[in-house]
Structure 1
Amino acid sequence: MSAEELTDSPVPWVAGHIRRFVETGGQARPGMNDLLLTTRGRRTGTLRRTALVYARDGERYLVAASNAGADRHPAWYLNLVADPAVTVQVGSQTFAATARTATAAERPRLWLLMVETMPSYRGYQETTKRQIPVVIVEPAV
Structure 2
Amino acid sequence: MSDASEEIFDSPVGWVNRHIRSYVDSGGRKGHRHYGWPTLLLTTRGRRSGKLRRSALIYDRDGDSYVVVGSNGGKPEQPAWYLNLSADPRVTVQVGTEIFAAQARDATAEERAGMWERMLVVNPGYADYEKRAGKAGRQIPVVVLERA
* Superposed counterparts of 1:1-141, under 5 Å: 1-2=1-2, 3=4, 4-26=6-28, 27-28=30-31, 29=34, 31-129=36-134, 130-140=138-148
Q: Distance in 1 between matches of 2:35 and 2:127?
A: 23
Shift of 1:24: 3.3
Structure 1: give runs of 5+ residues left out of the alignment. Answer: none
Task: Please give the per-residue CA displacement for 1:55-84, whole angstroms capped at 9, x wherever unaligned.
Answer: 001111000000011111000000000000
Q: How many residues align?
A: 140
Q: Distance in 1 between matches of 2:125 and 2:25?
A: 26
- SS of the aligned residue for 1:128 comes to helix
Q: Distance in 1 between matches of 2:110 and 2:47?
A: 27
**CA RMSD of the aligned region, Å?**
1.2
Counterpart contact for 2:39–2:58, Cα < 8 Å: yes
What TM-score comes out, normalization by structure 2 length?
Answer: 0.90
What TM-score comes out, normalization by structure 1 length?
Answer: 0.94
Shift of 1:32: 2.4
Q: Distance in 2 between matches of 1:15 and 1:31?
A: 18
Shift of 1:50: 0.5
Q: What stretches of structure 1 move > 6 A for 4+ residues in a row?
A: none
Structure 2: give runs of 5+ residues left out of the alignment. Answer: none
Q: Distance in 1 between matches of 2:90 and 2:105?
A: 9
